[in-house]
Amino acid sequence: MMNIKKNHIYSLVTVVLLMLFLFWLNANRLQNGMLVSILQKGVILALVAVSMNLLNGFTGLFSLGQAGFMSIGAYTTAILLIPVQNLDGVYYMNGVHPGIRAFKMMVASSPEFIQIVFPFIALLMGGLLAAFAAAIVGVAVLRLKSDYLAIATLGLSEIVRAIFSSPQFDQITNGSYGLNKIPNFPSMLWGAIPSLITPFIVVAICIVVMVLLINSSYGRAFKAIREDEIAAEAMGINLFKHKSMSFIISSFFSAVAGGLLAMYMRSIEAKTFSITLTYDILLIVVIGGIGSVTGSVLGAFLVTAAKEWWLRFFDQPLFIGSFQVPLFRTGFRMVIFSLLLMIVVLIYRRGIMGTNEFSWDRILGRLKRKSKKEGGQA
């Protein structure tokens, strides 16, 4: 009981320190623009990785359709949030659908409270639309297993991307031109929480919901299906019901992450959600540890920082006196990044966290053992 109270205190202190750091970062965002960008993109990818881990790691369903559901959330959020005065500038080629213009004029004339919370409503609508699509598609694809399910969901993702770039939907999705002039993250609590912190709070809430689900009776059913479907069915677990639930919930949160990504990028197009994005998310899950929420979050930040920041200097020419070091040129950082991934996978065969989660007891236990060992040597 005492340990539980201590863990809660440590967690509360950590959350407070993180919030103080984010407020400091907001006050100094001009001097720390790269750090802000990396952290915001990292936290968005963390949400997608956890949603993918819910499906792949905890339920044992090998799905590669995350990019497709992200695109549904991104396009829905973008279409709903582009200001009515910017519509003609965005849909300059074929015009905008009259229904979209009428809806936006209605939102613009709505009470102030509705306009304040509307960005979050847009995220929710994007998630619900993706969940609805997952429920329909799941009837067919969830009867498949292993690699066949992966191929089917990957194909589904490409179909969604093709639909969004199709000229038949130019007045809605703007076809191959994509959507721009998307508003950035909104502030929360009437400006008390600045816009920089908003994605962190939204993602934290989403991940907490998924953790609660994983630790519930439904989560135990997911794990039973992962371990042995035949045994799970013999125990009375409805396989299709729980697979569908996991698939739908994972798709919902992937779409929410897609909406946040649209706000982060301020402009999107169909090719943003290509197969490469799905592979990047799968990479994060594998590096962090399949079946570990903490691993997915940690992997998202490490992979994003390494690709976008830490290894950037490998893309710049390097001179030692008048001698130019070979290979240091645009694209070389991805070679180094790939080598680092190979090293990490060789050292951590089951990912950095494996199937473990962050635990204060484990950290404090290691510190105590280390201090005792050092005391014994002295």
pLDDT tens profile 196-223: 999 999 999 999 999 999 999 999 999 9
Phi, psi of 179 (to 5 degrees): -120, 140
Amino acid occupying residue 346: L
Does residue 339 belong to any structural domain of this protein? no
Which 3 state secondary structure label does DSSP give 237? Answer: coil
The total of structural domains in the chain comes to: 1
At residue 131, the pLDDT reads 97
Please give the structure tokens belonging to residue 83.
């200001």
Residue 77 within any structural domain of the chain: yes
Give a yes or no: residue 279 inside a domain: no
Range of the structural domain that residue 207 is part of: 34-272
Q: What are phi and psi of 348, to 5 degrees?
A: -110, 90
Looking at the predicted structure, is the pLDDT value of residue 362 above 90? no
Question: Is residue 372 a part of any domain in this protein?
Answer: no
Which residues are CB-contacts of 33 (< 8 A; sequence separation ≥ 6)? none
98 pLDDT more than 60: yes
Is there a domain that residue 2 lies in?
no
- Name the percent of the chain lying above pLDDT 70: 96
| Predicted structure pTM score | 0.93
- Round the average pLDDT of the chain to a whole number and report it: 90
Residue 333 lies in a domain: no
What gap in Å lies between CA 281 and CA 276, rounded to an integer? Answer: 9
3-class state of residue 67 by DSSP: helix
Main-chain phi, psi angles of 358, to 5 degrees = -60, 135
- pLDDT of 140-178, one tens digit each? 899 888 789 999 999 999 999 999 999 899 999 998 899
- Mean pLDDT calculated for residue range 316-340: 82
Asked whether residue 375 is domain-assigned, the answer is no
In the structure encoding, which two tokens stand for residue 11, read together?
Answer: 């967690």
Q: Over pLDDT 90: what percentage of the chain?
A: 71
Q: Is residue 295 part of a domain?
A: no
Question: In this predicted structure, what is the pLDDT of residue 378?
Answer: 54
